[in-house]
A and B are shown apart, each in its own frame.
Chain A
Amino acid sequence: MKRFQLLVLGGLVAAAAAACSSKPQTTPAPVAEAPPDTSGEVARRAAEEAERTRQDAARRAAEEAERAARQRIADSLAAMGRGSEAVRTLFATMIHFDFDKANIHTDDAAILDQKVNVMQANPQVTIRVTGNCDERGSDEYNLALGNRRAVSAKQYMTSHGIDAGRIATASNGKERPIDSGHNEAGWAKNRNDQFDIVAGGDALKQP
């Protein structure tokens, strides 16, 4: 855009230069040949000048309007981005599970309700739910348990009106702990469902 403006400016300068340089060539002739016509010439120049001024003003106004419009779009984009970020943060909230269990806690249901609202307000969004387990269980069994935890959340959300095709499930078993603590505090954090937006998450509307 800026480049374009520069080009336009450059063009104007060139045109002005051309006008100036042509003047000395044209003026000597009228002065020599037709002095009585001076008033008409003056009027014509004045008219040209007025016309040029008017065009400049119009162009400046148009440029100003365009700049303002661009600013408005940028501002609204930023605002929307801030909104998306908030929604995204909300959406990333994990839910947690008891040891060797995959049922949704009642207080975690509220978290899932928020996600349901977000998905309803943003019908373009598709997500992935990934179940995780703490380090205590059997390695291979935990893959199935993590899967069941992911499926639990999906079932909750589909039963609240979200199309099943918008929610993929996955399991990390106990392979991706987010807390390295070998104690109940760490384990409790690692028994979770994580929610990722797979597609349609560029601009999220507040529910």
Chain B
Amino acid sequence: MRRDAPLLVALALGAAARPGAAQDTSRIDRGVRIGIIYRPGVRPGLVVLPAAAVPDSLRAIIARDLDYSDRFELITLPGGDSIRFATAAPPAAPAPPAAGRTGTSGAGPKPASTAAAATGLNYPLYQALGADFAVILTTAKPDSTIVTVHDVAAGGVRREFRAHLPPPAAPGFRMAVHRVADRILDAALGAAGTAASRVLVVLDGKVYSIDQDGADVKLVSASEHVALSPAWAPDGRRFAYMEFWQGRGRLFVHDLATGKRAAVAVVGQALDFTPAFSPDGKTLAFSRGNEEGTDIYTVNVKDDCCLQRLTVGRFADNLSPVYSPDGQRLAFVSTRAGAPQIYTMAADGTDQQLFAPFDYGVTGASYAPDWSPDGQSVAFHRDVGGTYQVFVLDVRTRAVRQLTSVGRNEDPTWAPDSRHMAFVSDRSGIRQLWIVDVETGRIRALETQGGARLPAWSPRLPETTTSTP
């Protein structure tokens, strides 16, 4: 049971410093460390240092993103910003403290920045505070921020890069900052983050987009028809969804950049629903309800052709398909054994078999599978005592474990890191979107409006702003 938890030094105020010196003491005798620290049940500490001339919102967003990565223990510095002066005191004052409030007059670290920062940061102090990593943000030019990730224990700079950020009021600002947070995570732990991602969710019959930190709730698709089941295209630029037309379901692909949508050209006047893109973005799998029941079909959405039927239900329904990340298989729901359960088949419809084991007549009905981006897990929800709970199936061992137990929890959707998951829960009394870290079990509410349904977590979103080292 190893758990990586880098310490980011976050500068939240307040006395809730880390629980005591005991931990700090234990850290001292760790001996040689290479990058990531592994301690049972303890995550590395991390501090995001306050810096003059850097908009506080920038630091706040980054600190929150790193906190939400659930890979660090964000360190609250006692005395708030006073820590800055403490670090500034040592010999060659490092860039962030020295920059002063006159904007960029401090002239930043220049070529020798790494050395300056390395010599300037009071590593023993941060180490004593429990930080394994310290992040310093320096505004070099109005649109350019230098990010320095310090490895506190090693006493040196882990990585330094320059990020070009649009002005805080610009539409791309937050997402650009999220990308910075993901790069910090990559620098510290070599792990890919989810800060630059969004969740689509159905609210009041319309599709909304919410940044993974809960900001920027935007209506992205609306018509007079009820919309359901948004599903991201792998490029992160489009999504498919279903609209109700008088008891019929029509599928659309919505382009986020243009705001335009196109109907998926499939023949017939049927009830088409639960679309899912193949990993290459060319094929859309979906459920079609008609007089023969509900079955799974695929259609080529690149050339608008080639409708193919994958299941023949006869007296059973087959629905809610989702591709494995390699595109070779599908997970889906079938009622062939009576109650709906999770099955799998090859992408061409062959080799259909039970996926998530169940005890006939004992295990509750199971619904809404979502295959993790790393291919190792399939999340779904299952009836437990008359309500729904989220479960995770280990694809290799076919072991199933229950992830939630409080309230009704359903429609899980994996984050691009295959570690976080959004789902709908009424645990607070209203139906909200929640995010859980499958590793630690840490949970947070994503939106507070209520009535959220059918979330879909995006892949890592493509660059919309320049951000070069």
Contacts and interface: CB of A to CB of B under 8 A. Distances in A.
B244 A138 contact: no
A144 B319 CA distance: 8
B188 interface: no
Contacts of A143: 228, 249, 271, 273-274, 287, 289, 294, 319
Nearest to B229: A140
Given A130-B247, A148-B317, A171-B271, A138 B388 contact: yes
Contacts of A139: 228-229, 411, 453-454
Contact of B368 (A138, A148, A175): A138
B58 interface: no
B290 interface: yes
Interface string A133-154: 0000011110111011001001
Contacts of B320: 140-141
Contacts of B244: 172, 175
A100 B338 CA distance: 11
B361 to A, nearest CB: 14
Contacts of B317: 144-145, 147-148
Interface string A144-179: 110110010010000000001000011110010000
B410 A138 contact: yes
A89 to B, nearest CB: 21
A154 to B, nearest CB: 7
Interface in B268-283: 271, 273-274
Contacts of B274: 140, 143
A67 B249 CA distance: 52
Interface residues of A, number: 20
Interface residues of B, number: 34
A199 B367 CA distance: 37
Given A139-B454, A140-B320, A151-B293, A170 B368 contact: no
A107 B295 CA distance: 30
B291 interface: yes
Interface string B317-334: 101100000000000010
B248 interface: yes
B381 interface: yes
Nearest to A130: B247
Contacts, number: 78
A147 B290 CA distance: 7
B245 to A, nearest CB: 9
A207 to B, nearest CB: 25
Nearest to B454: A139
Contacts of B246: 170
A109 B205 CA distance: 34
Nearest to B315: A148
Nearest to A136: B386
Contacts of B453: 139
Contacts of A164: 291
Given A138-B367, A139-B453, A140-B228, A147 B410 contact: no
Contacts of B247: 128, 130, 170-172
A147 B388 CA distance: 22
A25 B229 CA distance: 92
B436 to A, nearest CB: 19
B314 to A, nearest CB: 12
Given A139-B228, A139-B411, A171-B247, A144 B289 contact: yes
Q: Choose among A128, A147, A169 the residue with the greatest number of B CB atoms under 10 Å from its CB.
A: A147
Contacts of B220: none
Interface in B245-268: 246-249
Contacts of A140: 228-229, 273-274, 287, 319-320, 367-368, 454
B94 interface: no
Interface string A97-111: 000100000000000
B366 to A, nearest CB: 9
Contacts of B228: 139-140, 143, 175
A154 B248 CA distance: 16
Contacts of A138: 367-368, 381, 388, 410-411
10 contacts: A100-B365, A140-B319, A141-B333, A143-B228, A143-B249, A144-B293, A145-B317, A147-B271, A148-B317, A151-B292
Interface of B: 205, 226, 228-229, 244, 246-249, 271, 273-274, 287, 289-294, 317, 319-320, 333, 335, 340, 365, 367-368, 381, 388, 410-411, 453-454
In order of increasing CB-CB distance, the 9 nearest A-B pairs are A170-B247, A147-B289, A144-B294, A138-B367, A144-B317, A130-B247, A144-B319, A143-B273, A140-B274
Given A139-B454, A143-B274, A144-B335, 11 more contacts: A100-B365, A138-B388, A140-B228, A140-B273, A140-B274, A140-B320, A143-B271, A143-B319, A144-B319, A169-B291, A172-B244
